[in-house]
């Protein structure tokens, strides 16, 4: 059941904050977090108030030199139909011989969830030359924060890209500038079925101690 978070007020700039926040609930969420396959999403979706809270939480990410190198498009309601038309037009441009059936399927992609958050990586010019890669990583962190915040609020979701995220026609229709990229589409809603655990990496296989 979705919950309305009781968030503290935004801290004042320069306010002293706790360096750590011991939280068994957060550790449990991270230990059991699982994206819901997009085919298993349905309505209802987060309300405007839910999304405001979710985005506020998600934007508290590492951000070298406070450049805020990302932005988010909220896509819901009939805007999903228009996005499906954009996806289909992009598919036809990529593949002029595409079948009508595949175009119809392309148009239905945005209808798989009631709310889509399109996270755009938007690196900014920085006189101190913060690496573009660091700015892009900040956008990825925002995507992950959205998944964590949405699940903590009781919503199911998944971060996907698919061909549309890399398509120039889609970028133009969504108003991206030349230096911007789509970090991901975050599909949000309720789950028709619980997701099942998948194979996970082991710490021993992926982490080693460097000793010089």
pLDDT the model gives residue 50: 96
| pLDDT tens per residue, range 118-145 | 999 999 987 678 999 999 999 999 999 9
Would you say residue 48 has pLDDT above 90? yes
pLDDT the model gives residue 68: 96
pLDDT the model gives residue 6: 84
pLDDT the model gives residue 126: 74
Would you say residue 1 has pLDDT above 80? no
Segment 152-166 shows an average pLDDT of: 97
Segment 81-97 shows an average pLDDT of: 97
**Rounded to an integer, what distance in angstroms lies between the CA atom of residue 205 and that of residue 200?**
11
Quickly list DSSP for 111-129: GGSSEEEEEEE-----TT-
Tell me the backbone φ, ψ of residue 88, rounded to 5 degrees: -65, -40
Out of 3.40.50.720, 3.40.109.10, 3.50.30.30, 3.30.420.40, select the CATH number for domain 36-75+112-194.
3.40.109.10
């Amino acid at each position: 059941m979705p919950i309305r978070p009781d968030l503290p007020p935004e801290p004042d700039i320069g306010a002293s904050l706790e360096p750590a926040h011991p939280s068994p609930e957060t550790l449990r969420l991270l230990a059991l977090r699982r994206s819901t396959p997009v085919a298993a999403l349905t309505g209802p979706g987060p309300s405007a108030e839910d999304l405001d809270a979710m985005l506020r939480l998600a934007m508290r990410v590492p951000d070298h030199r406070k450049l805020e190198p990302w932005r988010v498009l909220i896509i819901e309601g009939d805007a999903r139909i228009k996005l499906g038309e954009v996806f289909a037009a992009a598919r036809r441009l990529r593949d002029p011989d595409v079948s009508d059936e595949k175009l119809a399927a392309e148009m239905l992609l945005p209808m798989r969830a009631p709310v889509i958050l399109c996270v755009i990586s938007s690196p900014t010019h920085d006189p101190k030359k913060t690496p573009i890669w660091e700015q892009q990583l900040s956008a990825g962190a925002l995507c992950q924060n959205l998944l964590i915040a949405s699940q903590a609020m009781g919503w199911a979701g998944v971060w996907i890209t698919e061909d549309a995220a890399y398509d120039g026609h889609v970028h133009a229709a969504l108003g991206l500038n030349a230096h911007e990229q789509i970090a991901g589409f975050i599909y949000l809603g309720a789950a028709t079925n619980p997701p099942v655990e998948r194979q996970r990496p082991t710490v021993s296989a992926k982490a080693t101690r460097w000793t010089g």
